Amino acid sequence: AIELAAAWLRSLACAEIAAELQRGLEILHSDQLGIPDRHRAMRVVFDHSWQLLDQDERELLKALSVFQGGFLREAAEAVAGATPTLLAALADKSMLRMTAEGRYSIHELQRQDAAERLAHSPERGVAIRNRHSSYYLHFITHPRQSYFGEESKRLVAAIDAEIGNILAAWYWAVDHDRIGDLYPAIDGLYRFAYLSTHHAEGARAFRYAIDALRHGPADDAHRIACASALESHAVLDIMLGHDRDVAEELLESIALVRDLPTARRELASAIGGLAWSKHIKLESAEAKALFLEAAELNQEIGDFERQAWNYCMLGSASRKQGDYNEVERWYQQALELGRAIGDLRTIADALADLGWLAIRQGEYATARRYLEESLSAARSHGNRDYIVEALGLLGQLAEQTGDFALAAAYLEECVSVARLWGKEPNIAFNLAKLAHLRTGQGDYDAAGELYDEADSLMAQSISLIAPVELRNGMGSLALQTQAYGNARLFFEESLHLAQISGDRLGSAQALVGLGLAALRQDEIADAGHHFLGALQEAAGIGFAPILTESIAAVAELRAAEGDVTYAAQLAALAAGHPAAGAETRQHAATVLAELLPQLSPERRAAITESEIRVDLAAVAGRLIAELSGRGKATVAAGAAPDTPVLIEALSERELQIVRMVAAGKSNRTIGRELYLALGTVKSHLHHIYQKLSVDSRTQAIARAIELDLL
């Protein structure tokens, strides 16, 4: 066959020869003199071999031609009626080859020849292909849990070996409207396409099915199958981080099954998928309403795993809105439900989310408990996505608490697992974490290489949270290497992305970075403006670590202005606060070390012993007032400024509301907890603003702190 194909090189290019071979065996012939007749064409070769087979062997070989990429004995028995004796006979006659693992294969040219012979018996061919399609679509139809944990690794490997047969089975079922085989396989193909490397093949298969089902019968079975295929195709793209608007497909899916009482599961899945697409596009209010609707449907049909997942997503949507009380409530509900049904995947997910929140709140012991249990649950379940998430957060926690060796161990394992099993955005996200650690360790070259790789991988992501963290990290590296112009560019980009996405923590971190870059270029006014913004964001979310980071930055500002005592007070507070991260403590300690020699021994002792006990929110409020131009206030004990006097006192209800605002609660949450209508809460806030002479919640908090109302 090789000699016959090579003879065409005088007149055809290799690609043209390959194309002809795809069309059939006609090209494989020769008129060269001196060649035995049975070697002049491959068809003659195969005819000669065919005569050497008995009738049962011929019929089996024709039936085996429907397999693509080989097969196992069990499949040959189920599809083609093979027996071990006949398979052995065909192997002995070189018609089949068998690997050490027991997998049979037919040479592609022989398979084409046998398929052409099978085509002469169309009814038998259809029957065999129907059995082949049913067998392999059933092969990927497994309970959802099978695609998670250690079992998933074996299952994906088994399906991967049969991908040629599975795709052939899928397309046959679509073309011949075998809806009973096709519909149950949709979820399996979606999960396999996500977990394996066959993303493109899976997406093409879904598009092909969707096109056919849209134009097929309009009965309930076809509507449900089409809705399921639309939802799976859309969610696959979301899971893979592809930048494509999938809302139209999800809305079409919902419309197909909204009025079908037998399709509540499909409806819940489509609504959850649409919620996720809104969440990705930062339409958080719509996303939360849809996640809640999906969760209620899940509860109605008893799909408690999906219900718990939707609770986690409600927490994530609340996180994007900056409503951190809601965040914790939803994550805790997901955890409770996960524990109640014994679902390790939900437990791992919810604990990781709670660990993330605890790190941001500076509750490091709580975070460690959550994350260690999350990692244990993820390992027990074998879910690689959650293993990566828990390792990454444990690495961040260790870095935040100053244990760089432990952080490196966690993050290196995290990146290794992500590279092996993860998708590009997930790999990039964790590379950025490792790069941040390398920056803290002073290995700037390694950090730069990691950031460059992460930036390249992140280019295809539709998430904005990860690029915010990435850009802030790249800005921090530029600060450390004194590339202040680059630092400002990175932080400005991060601030823009954070503001678009509603990421208040990311905004605060970017503003601190912008302020430090400006300060180190002697642009004092710009630095103060950025630090004011950072403090306002930090006070709004109330997280101690970002408050201390902002206070340390203002300490450097006051030091640059020559206010040594005040700067030292602020630096001591940031350096000694238990919630301060390692980077903040190092920054504040460096500022403090430069200032202490300029102070008297008495003042040094007073500063280092007293400031750690000061309330962070009070300090932040006073700094906001100061940077807003209301006059400087020292944080030293006994040296507070004169307390301003209200022209009209707040009522008890107004005091209650302003304290809830300072705690970071939304108007809706305040109304729910105080049993007030939303309009009533807004009316109270309007009167509070008038009495405090302010225009916003942030200004109200700062003013209330000045007046000692909290």
Give the pLDDT confidence score for residue 466 in this predicted structure.
62
Phi (first) and psi of residue 218, to 5 degrees: -105, 20
Cα 118 from Cα 533, distance rounded (Å): 75
Mean pLDDT of 529-546: 92
Length of the chain: 710
In contact, 600 and 535? CB cutoff 8 Å: no
In whole angstroms, give the CA distance from residue 557 to residue 252. Answer: 56
Q: Tokens 């899971």 correspond to what residue?
A: 239
114 alpha-carbon distance from chain centroid: 47
Q: Which residue pairs, CB below 8 angstroms and at least 24 apart, start in 170-177?
A: 170/133, 170/137, 170/205, 170/209, 171/205, 171/208, 172/129, 172/130, 172/132, 172/133, 173/133, 173/137, 174/208, 174/209, 174/212, 174/213, 175/212, 176/130, 176/133, 177/212, 177/216, 177/217
Where is mean pLDDT largest: 9-18, 300-309, 420-429? 300-309
State whether residue 104 is helix, strand or coil.
strand
32 has a pLDDT exceeding 60: no
Amino acid, res. 278: K
Report how far residue 609's alpha carbon sits from residue 550's, in angstroms, rounded to the nearest whole number: 21
Residue 663 is classified by DSSP as T
Beta-carbon neighbour count of residue 613 at 10 Å?
10
Confidence of residue 614 (pLDDT cuts 50, 70, 90): low
What is the pLDDT, as a whole number, of residue 519?
Answer: 96
pLDDT tens digit sequence for 455-503: 888 775 555 456 888 999 999 999 999 999 999 999 999 999 888 877 8
Q: Which two tokens stand for residue 421?
A: 């099993």
Residue labelled with tokens 């998928």 = 273
Which residues contact residue 263 at a Cβ distance below 8 angstroms, ignoring those fewer than 6 apart?
A: 220, 223, 224, 227, 257
* Range from 239-243, 292-296, 619-623 carrying the lowest mean pLDDT: 239-243
Please choose, from the candidates 404, 506, 411, the residue with its C-alpha nearest in 3D space to the C-alpha of residue 450. Answer: 411
Q: Which residue has the tokens 């999350």?
A: 374
Tokens of 679: 């309009």
pLDDT at position 462 is 52
pLDDT band at 324 (very low <50, low <70, confident <90, very high): confident
In this prediction, residues 406-425 reach a mean pLDDT of 87
Determine contact, residues 266/273, Cβ cutoff 8 Å: no
Residue in 193, 270, 196 with CA at minimum distance from that of residue 237: 193
CB 320 within 8 A of CB 284: yes
Contact between 397 and 364 under an 8 Å Cβ cutoff? The reply is yes
Model confidence, pTM: 0.71
Whether the CA torsion 113, 116, 121, 124 is positive or negative: it is positive
Q: How confident is the model at residue 57 (pLDDT cuts 50, 70, 90)?
A: very high
pLDDT band, very low/low/confident/very high, at 581 (cuts 50, 70, 90): very high
Lowest-confidence region among 352-366, 388-402, 412-426, 575-589: 412-426
C-alpha distance from residue 95 to each of 88, 111, 120, 173 (Å) = 10, 9, 20, 28
User: Are the C-beta atoms of residues 236 and 272 closer than 8 Å to each other?
Assistant: no
- SS3 string, 586-622, reads HHHHHHHHHHHHHCCHHHHHHHHHHHHHCCHHHHHHH
Domains along the chain with CATH numbers? 2-51 (no CATH), 130-359 (1.25.40.10), 652-706 (1.10.10.10)
Sequence-distant (≥ 6) Cβ neighbours of residue 478 within 8 angstroms: 484, 486, 487, 490, 517
The sheet carrying 97-98 orders its strands as 71-72, 103-105, 97-98
pLDDT per position as a tens digit, 217-228? 989 999 999 999
Alpha helices per DSSP H over 108-148: 108-118, 122-139
Question: Per-residue pLDDT for 388 more than 70?
Answer: yes
Q: Looking at residue 480, what is its pLDDT?
A: 95
- Please determine, for residue 630, whether its predicted confidence score (pLDDT) is greater than 50: no
Predicted confidence at residue 297, as pLDDT, reads: 96
Q: Is the pLDDT of residue 64 over 90?
A: yes
Q: How far, in Å, CA of 382 to CA of 374, rounded?
A: 12
Q: Which two tokens stand for residue 449?
A: 């290489």
Query: Rounded mean pLDDT of the chain?
Result: 87
* Chain centroid to CA 410: 19
Residue 636: pLDDT band (50, 70, 90) is very low
What is the spatial distance between Cα 68 and Cα 346, in angstroms, rounded to a whole number? 38
- Higher-pLDDT residue of 317 and 49 is 317
590 burial (CB, 10 Å; 0-12 / 13-18 / 19+) is middle
Report residue 298 as tokens: 């899940």
With H, G, I as helix, E, B as strand and everything else as coil, classify residue 29.
Answer: strand
Compute the distance between CA of residue 681 and CA of residue 373 in angstroms, rounded to an integer: 40
Q: 602, 583 in Cβ contact below 8 A?
A: no
In this structure, of 237-246, 249-258, 380-389, 632-641, the range with the lowest mean pLDDT score is: 632-641
Backbone angles phi, psi at 338, to 5 degrees: -60, -45
Please name which of 540, 546, 545, 606 lies closest in space to residue 572, comparing C-alpha atoms. 606
Q: How many CB atoms sit inside 10 A of residue 697's CB?
A: 20
d(CA 469, CA 507): 10
